[in-house]
Structure 1
Amino acid sequence: MSAPVSPTPTTTEMPYLTVTPVLELSDQTTKPGAKLKFGQQAVIPFYSRYAKGLVGISVTVDSVKAPDADVDGLPLKDEDKAKIRGKYFFFVKETLTNIDGANLAGIQAPTLMATTKSGGFPGTLFSIGREITVTGCAEHIFAPDDFAAKGAVYETCRLQFGVPNDPIASLMYTGKPYDTADKSVTWRK
């Protein structure tokens, strides 16, 4: 009689579901304190529930006058919608690329700290677990399952707002190991 065969597991292990891994810098990652232009890619150590890996992040910012139809569709109270009318939408577009093929399915694109030309901060809409989409800007909260392959791309757009003469001038990534002002990766116009 032969020994019983164990069934092949059908679930993927999730070692980082309850433990936060240490993210290390390497010769492949962007140096702390780096200043990049909008559109240039930074390579950042990142992790998902499944693995640690490297993500290429590039960002751009577009601005358009906020159409009333899009303002009407936002999940806000009428008095808050009134404050946005006449302002501009700033579309913070993030493109993430899986650099090394680590299983990064389900990650969230990092929230970048935006600063305007005057040194202030644009308005931000916070929605917990709800994607905010307007014409020209579609938010995708989680990376798709296929973001586990080398070269896979995940795109999202975060909606911010302000006035046209004070647009977003810089975006800063402050996740570990870039978690202090002098170590942050900054994109500028």
Structure 2
Amino acid sequence: MGMNSRKLRSLSIWIGVALAVTILALYAAIVRSTMNENPVSLLACMETEVSWRAWTCEKVLRHASLTDDQVRQLNQEAGLRFPLSMENPRHVEEMFELFIDRGVDINARDQETKGWTALHGTSMGDPAEKVAILLRHGARIDLRDSDGRTPLDLARLARQKYPTNPHIAETIRLLEEAQGKSPS
């Protein structure tokens, strides 16, 4: 009887080890495939996937460097607008700083939206905290889009169109305050 219980215990240990190795191998494959994702997909994954997958996407984004091509692509799309679109305020600030540290230009212009910067897009009604993040990190308020409008001009247009949006008044105040501080 003692011999059978030792065999059973030994078999249980081997099954446990095999199961752990299999799980680790599967997770390693998931990490490898996640590393091939573009930065924007990783940001979306952090917000929409189940917790273990979101955690993996966040770790890959934090620890893998952006390639020159990825930085160039992000800069052609006003790339700092992507972290600003995240819901989790902690992620917004952290990913924003990560993108800047990796070479994404805070004043990059989106090639598809009349040369808007992240500040142009954010000034149209996003929460004022996101405008404040951009301003804190040096977003230029004097840049004009292809129609000659600054972020403040767009915020004022948004106020006319959406007078009940609670974020626009604070955004205008922040932009006017920043304009008063900027050298003329």
Q: What interval of TM-score do these two structures reach, taking the shorter chain for normalisation?
A: under 0.3
More helix by share: 2
Pick the structure with greater CA Rg: 2
Greater percentage in strand: 1
Higher relative contact order at CA 8 Å, sep ≥6: structure 1 or structure 2?
1
> So what's the TM-score if we normalise by structure 1?
0.21
TM-score, normalising length: structure 2: 0.22
